[in-house]
Amino acid sequence: MWWDERDKLFYSGAIGRTPLFDTLDPPPLSLWSFKPDGTGSGTWAEVIPAGDAAWENLTRTTFGYQASDGNTALVLGGMATYATGPEISQDTLQPGLLQFDMRTRRFTNSSATSFNTNGTGRHGEMHFVPSFGPNGLFLILGGENSLESKYSLAEINLYDAATHRWYNQTASGNVPRGRQEFCVAGVNSTEGTYEIFLYGGHNGKFGPEAVSYDEIYILTLPAFTWIKVQYPPQRPRGGHTCNAIGGGQIISIGGYEANSTIYAGPHVWDTLFNSTDPFAQGLGVFNMTSLAWEDHYTANAPAYVQSELIRTFYADNPQNGSQFSTNELRELFQTTNFAPVETPRPKRTDFRTPDTPDPPSDQTGAIAGGVVGGLAVFAVIAGIVFYFYKKTKRRSAVKQHLDSYDDVVNTTPGPQSPVEADPGAQVKMAQLEGQDIQEMEQQPTEMPAQGWFQEGRGQDARLELEGNYKY
């Protein structure tokens, strides 16, 4: 299911399979839209009907990598099975990258050999990251090419849907083991980073060989570093979905546990869902700032702020983010699309209780208030005039001081050298009119660059002082 951000509707039907508990044949290949009406209902409409020429060279798949950016939907690889189309007699991995343009409502199919030699894959995740590159980037994570061949989560494939370019980047840190049917979701922080949450998954086997993961990892960008979250494992699962739902909240929906007690035969699905989900109603909410599961959802949550774990990583590794596989990829990540974080305005508070009567109102009070208000306006105007008069005179004094500042401190910058001053020098403040001269004796301190790009910094690079001072 894909979300159209402009038209506020969902697309469905072109991808997927019949339910595991249903014996009906899959419906003919077609594309439908659903328009929510805001009341819990909505309207279905057939966008591309069955039998349309658009389907002549396309096959419905399941278990592929898919994501959308609000304008374009992508499906990479996947499988064609008896449950995706009545014409399929044998499970087959499908190669290629299917792209759906929501504006033209047209499908195109292209090669995915830049992803791997065969252009195939299944049971992994694709995630759209809007925060980097002129158009945002799709990241392809994990999955497999066969039951015995899991893709490493250290190798991150990226795709730019606007330019049709593929990139590959090696991730470092505490890299998760290869797995399938995990979930991912992502949020951009107030510190100019993007964190991707990875939860759960399994090794693709059932019965005695089953391994179901109850682990959470965070892939932080632009550092491309995996960080494992430490918490008591109590909720192993696979086959679930995850979504960012505001602030730093991630919701996990559904799933199952592939454990050793599950019957590993052809009817595995008959026993797979017999266990009770530790999450109430199958819903779990994870807080990306506190790095803890919560039993509630917070509406209108504030913007996501990095956890202490992520902040410590970037503080200890200020040059992370510069080890890109190519200069072209580095340049993409130097173009950022972080929306400005708005500071909530304090709400006006009425401290009167319901029993407190309204203050009396009469003409005398109105006249007195008008007189006082007029005097206040006159005082403000006089103050503004006096302020600009003093500011003009002080600007002249400051200019004279700045013209001679080069004689006090050497300000000639090197290619990558910080500004340095004579350790024994005394930095003096200019005497402004009406103020005393103050003299400070202090050793110069180098300001370390805390922006994530140390080479070729773009406009979005940031510098911070040591400590907790933020500007």
Q: Is the dihedral of CA 315, 193, 289, 154 positive or negative?
A: negative
Whether the CB-CB separation of 197 and 129 falls below 8 Å is answered with no
Instruction: Give all strands of the β-sheet with 194-199 in edge-to-edge order.
Output: 172-173, 225-229, 216-221, 194-199, 183-188
Q: Is the dihedral of CA 241, 244, 246, 249 positive or negative?
A: positive
What residues contact 358, with CB distance under 8 A and at least 6 apart?
none
Report the alpha-carbon distance of residue 27 to residue 312 in Å, rounded.
52
Report the alpha-carbon distance of residue 23 to residue 212 in Å, rounded.
28
Whether the CB-CB separation of 138 and 131 falls below 8 Å is answered with no
pLDDT of the residue at 434: 39
C-alpha pair distances (Å), 315 with each of 135, 416, 463: 29, 20, 12
pLDDT of the residue at 142: 95
What residue type is 325 in one-letter code? S
Give exposure, 411-440, as e/b (b: 16+ Cβ within 10 Å).
eeeeeeeeeeeeeeeeeeeeeeeeeeeeee
Q: How far is CA 229 from the centre of its chain?
A: 17
Q: What is the DSSP string of 303-347?
A: PP---HHHHHHHHH-TTTT---SSHHHHHHHHSB-PPPPPPPPPP
Report the alpha-carbon distance of residue 140 to residue 219 in Å, rounded.
12
Whether the CB-CB separation of 54 and 106 falls below 8 Å is answered with yes
Q: Which residues of the chain have pLDDT under 70?
A: 22-23, 147-148, 260-270, 320-322, 340-471
2: nearest Cα among 47, 40, 39, 41? 47
**Encoding tokens for residue 42?**
């909505």
59: nearest Cα among 23, 87, 32, 33? 87
The beta-strand segments (E) located in 177-296 are: 183-188, 194-199, 216-221, 225-229, 241-244, 249-253, 283-287, 292-294
**Is pTM beyond 0.75 here?**
no
Give the chain's count of helices (H) and strands (E): 4, 27
Q: What is the pLDDT of residues 370-422, one digit of tens each?
A: 433 444 434 444 444 344 444 444 334 333 433 333 333 333 333 333 333 33
Do you find a cis peptide bond into 340, omega within 30 degrees of 0? no
What residues contact 58, with CB distance under 8 A and at least 6 apart?
14, 29, 98, 107, 109
Whether the CB-CB separation of 44 and 33 falls below 8 Å is answered with yes
What residues contact 330, with CB distance under 8 A and at least 6 apart?
322, 324, 453, 455, 456
C-alpha pair distances (Å), 324 with each of 158, 163, 333, 390: 12, 19, 9, 53
Q: What is the pLDDT of residues 205-261, one digit of tens each?
A: 877 788 889 999 999 999 999 999 998 888 899 999 999 999 999 999 999 887 756
